[in-house]
Amino acid sequence: MPVLVCLALAASLGVETFADAPPSTPARRRRATAKRTRPPALPALVVPASASARDLQIGEACRRGLEGTSGAVVAMDPYTGRVMALVNPQRGMAAAYQPCSVFKIVVAVAGLTEGVITPQSTHNCTGGCWIWPGHGVVDLRQALAQSCNPYFEWVGERLGYERVRHYAELLGLGSPSGINLDGEASGRIPVAVRPSQVGHLSSHAAGIATSAVQLGVLLSATLNGGIVYQPQVSGPDGFVPHERWRLPAGTVVDGLADGFLSAVNEGSASNAFDPDVIVAGKTGTCSGVGWFASYAPADRPEVVVVVFVQGGSGHVASGVAGRIYRYLYKPAAPPLAVGGGGR
């Protein structure tokens, strides 16, 4: 395995240094001038300094999967918040972008919890979607799988923006996650929007900005029973998870997994499909960026992988994730036998 660049766990801190003062005169006292140095730039691949062999495999898989694509990848344990790898932290942590249709996860959780929808609730998509004729009558599973815009516009308008914003903040968006690296972007959630904008915001996340790390925390909370963890770059030995908070009792995070799985098996994330690796997740495409927030194996999640691509789409991002998971979970093909003399 190639040697990976490792980063110490402690966040880099600005250090005060003192420059020499100009020569003193009887009327002027010598004065020290404080100057704060900038923290060192993070490497392109961040893995724990005390990484396990599996951490290194995950880091290498993320690096290889993204190779040739402009973007970022974060891989974390959904049950502890431990970050095993972060590729291109400048884009994956230190900058925030419109999350596009990945935000539909927030709207789905809000709709289910507030009783606005059930997994069986249907809406007739007759157009105005990314597919010209529309998707027809779809339920929540199909709407997540196909990333149906009118379905989530309908749910968002029934919720109203105040409730949509509330659940976005509950799931960790719009504020720093607390990851133990310097320079994290906080993202943005508007305080208020006009009623006419709620539908578009609910389907496209217009006016919202998040990082790949924040989306990893969000998706993890839907898998671990509603715990919003502080992500920490750390090896497994001696690691102590840190809960930021738990979602309030009664928050519904069940009912989403079928949609995430169907997105890969039959929907917008088909580029991540592999018959031997069960992957699930949600794509997002808008404003020249693409996302895929995912996990595998879908039946017993071990790792959450969020892929962000610039100048691409959710379909492209899901292809990156598919390569990552194949590197991690598919055994290498046995070498071809070299012909020898027969008897």
Mean predicted confidence (pLDDT) in 64-92: 97
Domain extent at residue 203: 45-329
Radius of gyration of the chain (CA): 23
Number of structural domains in the chain: 1
Q: Is residue 22 part of a domain?
A: no
Residue 312, helix vs strand vs coil = coil
pLDDT tens, residue by residue, 265-311: 999 999 999 999 999 999 999 999 999 999 999 999 999 999 999 99
Q: Is the residue at 29 inside a domain? A: no
Could you tell me where the beta strands, DSSP code E, fall in the chain? 16-19, 33-36, 45-46, 71-76, 82-87, 123-125, 136-138, 227-229, 232-233, 243-246, 280-286, 289-296, 303-310
Residues of the chain with pLDDT > 70: what percent? Answer: 85
- When pLDDT is cut at 50, 70 and 90, the band that residue 332 belongs to is low
Note the pLDDT tens digit of each residue in 209-223.
999 999 999 999 999
pLDDT exceeds cutoff 70 at 25: no
Residue 242 CB neighbours (<10 A): 13
Question: In whole angstroms, what is the distance from residue 342 CA to residue 276 CA?
Answer: 35
Q: Classify residue 63: in a domain, yes or no.
A: yes
Side chain identity at residue 336, one-letter code: L
Among candidate residues 1, 36, 5, the one with its CA nearest the CA of residue 18:
36
- The domain that holds 319 is classified in CATH as 3.40.710.10
Residue 234: burial class (beta carbons within 10 Å; 0-12, 13-18, 19+): buried
The mean per-residue pLDDT over the stretch 232-257 comes to 96
Work out the mean pLDDT of the chain and round it to a whole number: 88
Per-residue pLDDT tens over the stretch 118-176: 999 999 999 888 888 889 999 999 999 999 999 999 999 999 999 999 999 999 999 99
Residue 38: inside a domain, yes or no?
Answer: no
Tokens of 302: 């071990």
Q: Is the pLDDT of residue 75 over 60?
A: yes
Structural domain contains residue 234: yes
* 125 occurs within a structural domain: yes
Mean pLDDT of 9-22: 29
The answer on pLDDT for 41 being more than 80 is no
pLDDT of res. 18: 23
Provide the pLDDT for residue 3: 33
Within-domain flag for 39: no
2 or 110, greater pLDDT: 110
Q: In this structure, is residue 241 part of a structural domain?
A: yes
Q: Where are the beta strands (DSSP E) in 247-302?
A: 280-286, 289-296
Higher-confidence residue of 41 and 71: namely 71
CA-CA distance, 215 to 102, in Å (whole number)? 8
Q: Which residues pair with 305 in a beta bridge?
A: 75, 294
User: Could you tell me the two tokens for 333?
Assistant: 């093909």
Q: What pLDDT is recorded for position 128?
A: 80
Q: How far is CA 113 from CA 108, 118, 164, 252, in A?
A: 8, 9, 11, 5
